[in-house]
Structures are given as structure tokens and as C-alpha cells.
Amino acid sequence: MVHIDNRSNLNLDFEIIKSIASSLSDRDIEVIITNNSEISKLNTTHRGKKSATDVLSFPIDEVVPNMPLGSIVISADYIQNGAKEFGHTINDELALLFVHGLLHLLGYNHEKDNGEMRQEEAKIIKKFSLPQSLIVRVEENN
């Protein structure tokens, strides 16, 4: 089950992320939609990076029966800006950021792997008919 805490004023449809989550895990996931100010504080505290970011994942490492998989924090500012920049809906951008965060909860790490996260992201994007992935967008801009 996906537990949503929408702290933004965005009118988002969470059905797609619920479908994506249930296709990849049977564990509970918390999703927090917040602003750049709050996500920047989390990014500074937990990653030592003094800036806002699009999505943060906080996995619960111990696998105990009925234990949640973890939390995903997504910036509403990045949702809006990404949708505008890449020409798709805010719900598509939410889904892309969620997929990215969920894969991190599941143990993928595009900064250290050999493309496995990108491949998995591509499969999910195709399955759910989503636009171009985060990893591909970052790679194309570098």
C-alpha cells in the first residue's frame, strides 16, 4: 500500500504510482510531496548536499514482516518544472520521479551500477507508457 502525504497545492492523481508500486513490491511505501525548501533541508541533513533535489529515497534496511519498504520524498517544484520543461503532465512527472525513488528503495543505484537501474527504469516506463526516464534525461544533458 502507498501512503501519501501531499504537502503541496498540486492536484495529483496517485493511481499510477499505486499501480507501479504494487507491480514491484508488496511492502508499504510512504510518499511525501513537499517543496524545495523542505527537500533541501533533508538533502543537506542526509546527503550533505546543500541544495534542493527532485526525489529522495529513505529505505528501511531491515526486512521484518509487515515492515514498510521505506519513504520517498518528491519535490512538487520539480514536478511542476519537469512537466513544463519536458512537455508532459504533472502526473507523468510524478510517476517518473516515483519510479526513480522506488528503484532506489529496492536497492538500485545508478551512480554505482553498470546500467541495471536504467534498464529496470526503461522496462517500467514502457510497461506503464510513461515518457522518457530521469536517468536518460540526465545522461543526455551531460
The ranges of the chain with pLDDT < 50 are 141-142
pTM score: 0.89
Virtual torsion, Cα 94, 96, 99, 105, nearest 10 deg: -70
* pLDDT of 113: 81
| Domains in the chain with CATH codes | 2-140 (3.40.390.30)
* pLDDT of 95: 96
* pLDDT of 142: 46
